[in-house]
């Protein structure tokens, strides 16, 4: 075996890197929402442990396949290990069969030391089969066979050691004996949790030589029935006898096939990811009601590139909140050791300091972030999505209803109607016929030359209406989502609702035209009206002079009686012209005021929509985007590859 063949070749499925990145993202999203009503801290801790464990395994030899023999006392596990290894490496007990230490036999030692250190195999319990590779065992080259301590041993620490090692082995072979093959502690504690690991799990019914052929058939059938009932229908069952060698050929053939495939490690990681994805699935439901992703939709933000290129580990590394497991510094590992070398203190004493099989970096405590996820958009340095993209995650109908409710709460209709009537009154002070204005003034009903107050001054959105609108919106959008998303979407929608009252008042004020605005043509019409009034008054004076001159029997333009009728007609025409001018201009003012009202309503509506976006839709949309991201990442992490 040359060094060129040692590495991670064969470890990863085509999509394993993407699935690990998705699991990292699921863990990040869950950690931001952990708590009594949120994601399980135990689940998040298990996910982080798997990410670290997978990263450590993927950095080590992909040429070697770790196959573990596990079982209880008296199952003949160590005898089977010795029979496969071809030597009495692992001593079997006589009065009380028990395995206290972890033993390993390696077919091809080169490159295996880091794995053995990671597992915690003491150097005196490592055995090499390099010399046997020339004697017909070439098919087992790369096999790292482990003999686990008995899971039910009375030796202190054995059960905990088995619990740890079961998570590290690439493939597990459970060795059962005819007397205890139905032991509940084995089935419920170990086999049932591995129901989704059929590709890397096998069951061996050992000591078949102690049974009659009929008993062997009955035991095999009953064991098969138990496994099928526990969801292990695809897990193979082999019959062996370490004493007579019966069934060892089939067992060796199975081991040779597993070693040749060089995919047990990736199968194990994939199965572990699928198991965790099933636990994460309880926090996922259907898509956001009323939200339809466009065809070809990808994960928002930079994850899109990684989602379309799942094999690119480098691209995957930059897309998750937690550092990907294979980005951590590898643990220091020892050198290759033969069976005559010793590692030092006994494992049973327990590690007093860092050991090679422990993670290179300690596990991070899974605690909620200091601020809610919608209030801290980039806890992991991820670029913040544009507000428009976040709002696009909010269903259109509830968003439109919220904006309409905000407009109603701000009294937009009343404000714009007040604006129109105020403009009409202000214009009347300029375009009205002076005699009419004088009469109105005498009666105390003269229109003001400028509006006495700004319509927006009365715009004070009702807090209760705002709260009701936000609550209804939150219920419509988040009510059907599973926990904790239902709670977090509601909380996100309400997170800035306290600012809405003031913001809506400003939106109305800024959306109205300037106060005291006087149109230029109003002043021109006012001048024209006064000219007409002066001309009409001059005509009346002229008529009076004519009548006075005629009384003196003079002969002048001011005494020619024949001019009086024409001058009277001119005065009447001027009065009619002034009235018509007022009526015509008033119609223009009404049209202009209505157009101004529509423009103001449009401007105010735009500003109110911006307020709704900023204070409610963007926070809620960020949470909904994370929910859709969670569903997409869950689909990637949970995809089956076998």
SS3 letters for 359-414? Answer: CCCCCCCCCCCCCCCCCCCCCCCCCCCCHHHHHCCCCHHHHHHHHHHHHHHCCHHH
Pick from 43-57, 385-399, 576-590: least confident: 576-590
CA atoms of 174 and 172, how far apart (whole Å)? 6
CA atoms of 402 and 516, how far apart (whole Å)? 33
Q: Reply yes or no on whether the pLDDT at 183 is more than 60.
A: yes
Q: How confident is the model at residue 201 (pLDDT cuts 50, 70, 90)?
A: very high
Q: Reply yes or no on whether the pLDDT at 641 is more than 80.
A: no
* Cβ–Cβ under 8 Å, residues 4 and 56: no
Q: How confident is the model at residue 356 (pLDDT cuts 50, 70, 90)?
A: very low
Q: How confident is the model at residue 533 (pLDDT cuts 50, 70, 90)?
A: confident
Which residues are registered as beta bridge partners of 239?
205
Q: What is the mean pLDDT of residues 282-293?
A: 79
The DSSP string of 111-159 is T-HHHHHHHT--GGGEEE-GGGGGTT-GGGTTEEEEEPPPTT-SSTTHH
The fourth-level CATH superfamily of domain 64-261 is: P-loop containing nucleotide triphosphate hydrolases (3.40.50.300)
Q: Which two tokens stand for residue 591?
A: 């049209």
The values of phi and psi at residue 96, to 5°, are -140, 95
Which residues are registered as beta bridge partners of 176?
205
Domain borders along the chain are 64-261, 520-584
More confident residue, 553 or 577: 577
The per-residue pLDDT for 389 is 86
DSSP state of 320: S
The per-residue pLDDT for 281 is 93
Q: What is the mean pLDDT of residues 427-440?
A: 69
SS3 396: helix
The per-residue pLDDT for 260 is 92
More confident residue, 374 or 202: 202
Which residues touch 595 (CB under 8 Å, ≥6 apart)? Answer: none
Q: Reply yes or no on whether the pLDDT at 307 is more than 60.
A: no
CA atoms of 276 and 50, how far apart (whole Å)? 9
The per-residue pLDDT for 608 is 92
SS3 106: strand
Question: At which residue do the structure tokens 């109205």 appear?
Answer: 512
**Cα 195 from chain centroid?**
29
* Cβ–Cβ under 8 Å, residues 462 and 414: no
Which residues touch 111 (CB under 8 Å, ≥6 apart)? Answer: 1, 3, 6, 61, 63, 64
Q: Reply yes or no on whether the pLDDT at 68 is more than 90.
A: yes
How confident is the model over 557-595, as pLDDT tens digits? 666 677 778 888 888 888 888 778 777 877 777 777 777
The per-residue pLDDT for 450 is 46
Instruction: Tell me the pLDDT of the chain averaged across its residues.
Output: 77
Element (H, E) at 317: helix 313-317
């Amino acid at each position: 075996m040359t060094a060129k063949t040692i590495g991670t070749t064969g470890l990863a499925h085509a999509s394993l890197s993407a699935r690990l990145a998705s699991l990292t993202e699921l863990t990040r999203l869950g950690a931001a929402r952990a708590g009594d009503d949120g994601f399980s801290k135990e689940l998040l801790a298990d996910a982080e442990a798997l990410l670290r464990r997978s990263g450590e395994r993927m950095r080590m030899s992909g040429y070697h396949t770790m196959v573990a023999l596990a079982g209880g006392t008296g199952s003949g596990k160590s005898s089977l290990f010795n029979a496969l290894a071809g030597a009495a490496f692992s001593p079997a007990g006589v009065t009380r069969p028990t395995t206290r230490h972890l033993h390993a036999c390696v077919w091809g030692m080169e490159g295996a030391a880091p794995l053995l250190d990671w597992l915690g195999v003491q150097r005196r319990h490592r055995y090499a089969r390099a010399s046997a590779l020339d004697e017909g065992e070439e098919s087992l080259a790369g096999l790292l066979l482990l003999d686990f301590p008995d899971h039910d041993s009375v030796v202190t620490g054995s059960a905990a050691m088995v619990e740890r090692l079961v998570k590290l082995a690439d493939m597990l072979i459970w060795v059962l004996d005819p007397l205890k093959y139905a032991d509940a502690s084995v089935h419920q504690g170990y086999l049932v949790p591995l129901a989704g690991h059929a590709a890397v799990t096998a069951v061996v019914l050992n000591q078949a030589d102690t049974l009659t052929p009929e008993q062997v058939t009955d035991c095999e059938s009953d064991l098969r029935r138990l496994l099928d009932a526990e969801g292990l229908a695809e897990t193979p069952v082999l019959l062996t006898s370490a004493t007579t060698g019966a069934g060892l050929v089939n067992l060796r053939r199975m081991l040779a096939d597993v070693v040749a495939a060089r995919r047990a490690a990736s199968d194990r990681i994939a199965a572990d990811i699928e198991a965790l994805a099933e636990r994460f699935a309880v926090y996922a439901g259907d898509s956001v009601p009323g939200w339809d992703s466009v065809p070809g939709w990808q994960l928002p933000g930079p994850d899109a590139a990684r989602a379309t290129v799942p094999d690119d580990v480098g691209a995957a590394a930059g897309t998750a909140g937690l550092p990907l497991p294979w980005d951590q510094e590898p643990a220091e590992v020892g050198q290759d050791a033969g069976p005559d070398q010793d590692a030092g203190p006994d494992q049973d004493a327990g590690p007093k300091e860092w050991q090679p099989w422990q993670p290179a970096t300690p596990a991070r405590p899974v605690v909620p972030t200091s601020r809610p996820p919608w209030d801290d958009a980039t806890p992991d340095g991820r670029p913040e999505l544009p507000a428009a993209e976040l709002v696009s995650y909010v269903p259109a109908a509830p968003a439109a209803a919220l904006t309409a409710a905000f407009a109603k709460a701000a009294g937009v209709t009343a404000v714009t109607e007040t604006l129109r009537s105020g403009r009409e009154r202000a214009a009347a002070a300029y375009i009205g016929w002076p005699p009419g204005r004088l009469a109105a003034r005498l009666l105390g009903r003269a229109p003001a030359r400028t509006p006495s107050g700004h319509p927006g001054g009365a715009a004070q959105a009702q807090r209760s209406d705002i709260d009701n609108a936000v609550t209804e919106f939150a219920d419509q959008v988040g009510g059907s989502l599973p926990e904790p998303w239902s709670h977090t979407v509601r909380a996100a929608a309400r997170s800035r609702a306290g600012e809405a009252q003031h913001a809506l008042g400003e939106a109305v004020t800024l959306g109205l035209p300037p106060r005291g605005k006087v149109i230029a043509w109003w002043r021109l019409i006012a001048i024209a009206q006064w000219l007409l009034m002066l001309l009409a008054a001059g005509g009346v004076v002229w008529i009076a002079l004519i009548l006075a001159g005629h009384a003196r029997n003079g002969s002048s333009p001011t005494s020619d009686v024949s001019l009086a009728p024409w001058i009277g007609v001119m005065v009447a025409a001027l009065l009619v012209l002034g009235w018509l001018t007022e009526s015509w201009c008033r119609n223009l003012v009404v049209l202009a005021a209505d157009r101004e009202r529509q423009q103001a309503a449009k401007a105010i509506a735009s500003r109110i929509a911006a307020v709704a976006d900023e204070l409610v839709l963007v926070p809620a949309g960020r949470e909904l985007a994370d929910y859709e991201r969670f569903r997409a990442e869950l689909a990637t992490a949970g995809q089956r590859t076998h």
